Structure 1
Amino acid sequence: MLVVAAVCPCPPLLVPEVAAGAAAELDAARAACTDALGVLAAARPDRLVVVGPAEQSGRGVYPEGTRGSFRGFGVDMDVRLGRAEAVAPEDRAPAASERSLPPSLAVAAWLLERTGWSDAPIEGLGVGEPLASERCIQVGREIAAGAERVALLVMGDASACRTLKAPGYLDERAAPFDAEVARALGAADVAALKALDTELASELKASGRAPWQVLAGAAEGMSLAGALLYEDAPYGVGYMVATWS
């Protein structure tokens, strides 16, 4: 049963070493993420599942202890999802143990390390942008049924088309799309997240669409209260932080 969730953006620029001289520009987002993870910890879940967008090679389950890296972003820095000793090497699926965390889950691992998470076992899940809404919702239901008290850390960005210099250039549909997502996350509006337009989300390069719909599936029938802690688009990309509890 889902008892708490936190929604965070997943740009590697959240990691100060990656952002370098521009690190201060996301200080408010980092502070909001820290607050959101504090809400997760306060709920004392039995299990934490971290869900984030992933390219095809990065989709699937990542057991606790899986490593990630920011070397692809020019920084010699490694992270690990949870505790290294939590799962014995012989108990891990070979294919999963050999893979590195996709960037979204590496950012989540960094956030968890930064806040000193040690409250519950962790598992990562990389989901693909094309995953159909119905399947995302079903995955969420399955996650919620996996333990008595489940927490979700949901990683993903909103549109990447808010300004002329944004990765997806300026698209007039981006701001209204992001505003509706922010409203839905702040209100814990399960129905609104389920109804997100997958084609529009793809066109606007909103990497969080599939993870948010996993959250919607997990939260069905739970009557959780939402709070929007942060919403901005400093690089023309929508970043949002929210909690459901």
Structure 2
Amino acid sequence: MLVAAAVCPCPPLLVPEVAAGAAPEMDAARAACTDALGVLAAARPDLLVVVGPAEQSGRGSFPQGTLGSFRGFGVDMAVRLGPTTGHSVSERELPPSLAVGAWLLERTGWADAPIEGLGVGEPLAPERCTEAGRVIGAKAGRVALLVMGDASACRTVKAPGYLDERAAPFDAEVARALGAADVAAVKALDAELAQELKASGRAPWQVLAGAAEGANLTGALLYEDAPYGVGYVVAAWS
């Protein structure tokens, strides 16, 4: 059963070495992510699953110890999804979202439970996302989720998706739903609208909603802003 979740944004800019001179602009988001991961540790889970958007249309799993890097963003820096276990790990690299999650876990010194990674294709239908979440929630007696994903990328004219007047209301509802641990509202997020607004977090958030069914968790919104015209939300469920 799901006992805790942390929702964090997944831009590589969260990593100071990638952000370089712009690093201070993300300090508040990094601090909020640290607080959210503290909620996960306090829950003492038997298993931590890191979920984030990936390019493929379905789902892809990554065992503990899988490597990721930020070389694609101009920084020769590697991360690992938890310590190696002595078993073979995936030859595939972590997708960028899970690499950022692995960086957050390394940064906070996570050593509290075994880790798995799940990359979720951004077009994955809501019902398939929630079903994946139900499977995750049944994997162990006490499951925690680190859910990586961004809200819209259309908040300003300089945003990656330019300005879309639908973006701010969409992001406000995302922040409200995640901050309140409103499972029904997260399930109800419009997949087509999310895709039009380039919101990479929709599918991972709906995986969380599936895992949280029947868990009766409360939420807290720790951060919500759009420093680069992209909506970033940090929330904790416990």
Scaled by the length of structure 1, the TM-score of the pair is 0.96
Q: Does 1:207 align with 2:190?
A: no
Q: Segments of 4+ in structure 1 off by > 4 A? A: none
Q: Which residue of 2 aligns with 1:45?
A: 45
Kindly indicate whether the alpha-carbon contact (under 8 Å) linking 1:7 and 1:155 is maintained by their aligned counterparts in 2.
yes
Q: Which residue of 1 aligns with 2:35?
A: 35
Q: Which residue of 1 aligns with 2:182?
A: 189
SS at match of 2:146: strand
Question: What aligned pairs does 1:106-125 form with structure 2 within 5 A after superposition?
Answer: 106-125=99-118
Q: What is the distance in 2 between the residues matched to 1:187 and 1:59?
A: 27
Number of residues paired by the alignment?
238
Q: Which residue of 2 aligns with 1:138?
A: 131
Q: Which residue of 1 aligns with 2:166?
A: 173
User: Any gaps of 5 or more consecutive residues in structure 2?
Assistant: none
Kindly indicate whether the alpha-carbon contact (under 8 Å) linking 1:64 and 1:87 is maintained by their aligned counterparts in 2.
no
SS at match of 2:52: strand
SS at match of 2:5: strand
- How far did residue 3 of structure 1 move? 0.3
The verdict on how the C-alpha distance between 1:244 and 1:207 changes in structure 2, with shifts beyond 3 A counting, is: same
Q: Which residue of 2 aligns with 1:88?
A: 87
Structure number having the greater helix percentage: 1
The verdict on how the C-alpha distance between 1:144 and 1:58 changes in structure 2, with shifts beyond 3 A counting, is: closer
User: Any gaps of 5 or more consecutive residues in structure 1?
Assistant: none
Q: What is the distance in 1 between the residues matched to 2:45 and 2:74?
A: 35
SS at match of 2:50: strand
Kindly indicate whether the alpha-carbon contact (under 8 Å) linking 2:57 and 2:120 is maintained by their aligned counterparts in 1.
no
The verdict on how the C-alpha distance between 1:195 and 1:57 changes in structure 2, with shifts beyond 3 A counting, is: closer
* Identity fraction in percent: 85
Q: What is the distance in 2 between the residues matched to 1:210 and 1:87?
A: 32
Kindly indicate whether the alpha-carbon contact (under 8 Å) linking 1:2 and 1:144 is maintained by their aligned counterparts in 2.
yes
Q: What is the distance in 2 between the residues matched to 1:120 and 1:172?
A: 42
Q: What is the distance in 1 between the residues matched to 2:3 and 2:56?
A: 30
Deviations 1:74-102 (A, max 9, x none): 00100000002x2412xx5xxxx110000
SS at match of 1:56: coil
Kindly indicate whether the alpha-carbon contact (under 8 Å) linking 1:58 and 1:101 is maintained by their aligned counterparts in 2.
no
